[in-house]
Structure 1
């Protein structure tokens, strides 16, 4: 197999879905060391990959992907499937979701999502990272260390079982675990940790270490917060493009929608915020949400500008 010579070729080789051989890893290090611009070029590939998320709703892009997949059907070459996007980059893009690859490096790999986008990243140790809309995170897997840093927003981590625990940093809190599933949220310097499966330890700065099990969470001031029982399935449904509410105030429901969806809702009368709503609604296709507001709560939902909607009494 020929040795890649460009950043795009290396990106495809290291993210082909096959295990990275020691020979390829060594050759990649040599290629990086040859020119300081090589690492920048490689990082540019990762940035371009992430930016493909913004095209998730593009009919032209989806048509190109469908055409490429059809043309590649019946072949054994994953490389052919990876080249449809041009420049040696590839992504499975659907409803604002991007499945991106990760290659080993001493530099931090950075990931970000925009309004209505979510990003799923397979990591080199077999773990998986999913970013909610409007989230930023970075990761580094090198020399046996496994570190993910949440800078803003919300992530869901499937931590592969390894001798060395995976570490998630969020603000002044460190979460560690192996063979577990953890959701971590960081907004306005407030942290929430929820364990969806398995167990993980939570260590806030200046506080004692606590252990959470499936269906438990800590939120607010983690140094003093009590462990709460939660419905983990409901709390993590955003990964499927849905938000689930159980008898919650409309003000809270709208706040959640505005956080996840590119469509923004405005409550015209603050008194309406006290109305309560239950249901499961898509945030990446919000037709069912306005319908529920009109049919269940008897409200009016009218356009108020580009991607903006006004909720009012009839």
Structure 2
């Protein structure tokens, strides 16, 4: 009997071609043979079904995110980072003075005044929110005014005394003097004796009844001081005689832990006189605002906006 002819199986052949075409060694000859095999409709149909089934088994491709969404999220991330940095900077700006005071050897809180007698007999009178470091061990007694204001009653014991204020040094030759750190400048007032301010290669000798201002770069001219009002803060009063309004506002606001923001710069230069109670700075500010027709607005307990 003649041998029985095997019928071609398009599905099986489609599977073989599917595997062969995905092999790395598949060449043009094999691809041409596959094209000839697909000329038969049953073969082409079987291979199309296999290809469709294979596509269904594949995971769906990742959906590309719209570019504008990515850009929006990128901008949002930048804004969040900027807000975080601004908040960090604001916190450092507001709380750095407090951290400096707490790290100092002698310090006072906001609204507090304190008198301290040192081991050599010298008396330090610290104003509100002030801080100092003291070193009396060497041949030269070293004081460092970190912030605020101090009134010194110096006892002369044969050793020199220096007060460090920022980048400047004050050599003390007298017995009573006042040193203050203000926003943008520092100040020395000598009530008795003498003192010399040294800043880089510049120096000024200040005698009793005189005062001088200085900063990190220069020393101003020496001029006469108003000794009746210079240390009035020690009795809880701020005595202003033809003083800039901005300076009075800053002194009163500082006694309740606030920084002043004056919206009208010309207003800050207006001259005022008066006697203000530092132990009740809020009432003093309201009295001054009523007299000068000012509007005061507290912000977050740290700022005082003046308009």
TM-score range for the pair, normalised by the shorter chain length: 0.5 to 0.7
Q: Distance in 2 between matches of 1:211 and 1:235?
A: 19
Q: CA deviation at 1:259?
A: 2.8
Q: Secondary structure at the match of 2:248?
A: helix
Larger Rg, first or second structure (1 or 2): 2
1:165 equivalent in structure 2: 160
1:77 equivalent in structure 2: none
Counterpart check, 1:291 vs 2:287: yes
Counterpart check, 1:118 vs 2:113: yes
Please tell me whether the aligned partners of residues 213 and 219 of structure 2 are also in contact (alpha carbons under 8 angstroms): no
Counterpart check, 1:206 vs 2:232: no
Which has a greater percent of helix?
2
2:189 equivalent in structure 1: 194
Q: CA deviation at 1:300?
A: 5.1
Q: Distance in 2 between matches of 1:301 and 1:152?
A: 26
Aligned residue runs from structure 1 range 32-43, under 5 A: none
Q: Distance in 2 between matches of 1:146 and 1:110?
A: 15
For residues 237-276 of structure 1, what are the alpha-carbon distances to aligned partners after superposition, in whole Å with 9 as ceiling and x for unaligned? 2222221222233223212222333366665655644543
Aligned residue runs from structure 1 range 1-314, under 5 A: 110-142=105-137, 145-187=140-182, 190-208=185-203, 210-221=204-215, 223-262=218-257, 267=262, 272-286=267-281, 287-294=283-290, 296-299=291-294, 306=301, 311=306
Q: Secondary structure at the match of 1:142?
A: coil
* Aligned-pair Cα RMSD in Å: 3.3
Please tell me whether the aligned partners of residues 109 and 140 of structure 1 are also in contact (alpha carbons under 8 angstroms): no
TM-aligned CA distance change 1:147 to 1:245, over 3 Å: same
Q: Secondary structure at the match of 2:121?
A: coil
Q: TM-score, normalised by structure 1?
A: 0.55
Q: Secondary structure at the match of 2:273?
A: strand
Q: Distance in 2 between matches of 1:236 and 1:230?
A: 11
Q: Distance in 2 between matches of 1:115 and 1:185?
A: 16
Please tell me whether the aligned partners of residues 282 and 289 of structure 1 are also in contact (alpha carbons under 8 angstroms): no
TM-aligned CA distance change 1:310 to 1:226, over 3 Å: closer
Please tell me whether the aligned partners of residues 186 and 214 of structure 2 are also in contact (alpha carbons under 8 angstroms): yes
Q: TM-score, normalised by structure 2?
A: 0.56
Q: CA deviation at 1:304?
A: 6.2
Stretches of structure 2 that go unaligned for 5 or more consecutive residues are: 1-101
TM-aligned CA distance change 1:179 to 1:269, over 3 Å: closer
Q: Secondary structure at the match of 1:256?
A: helix
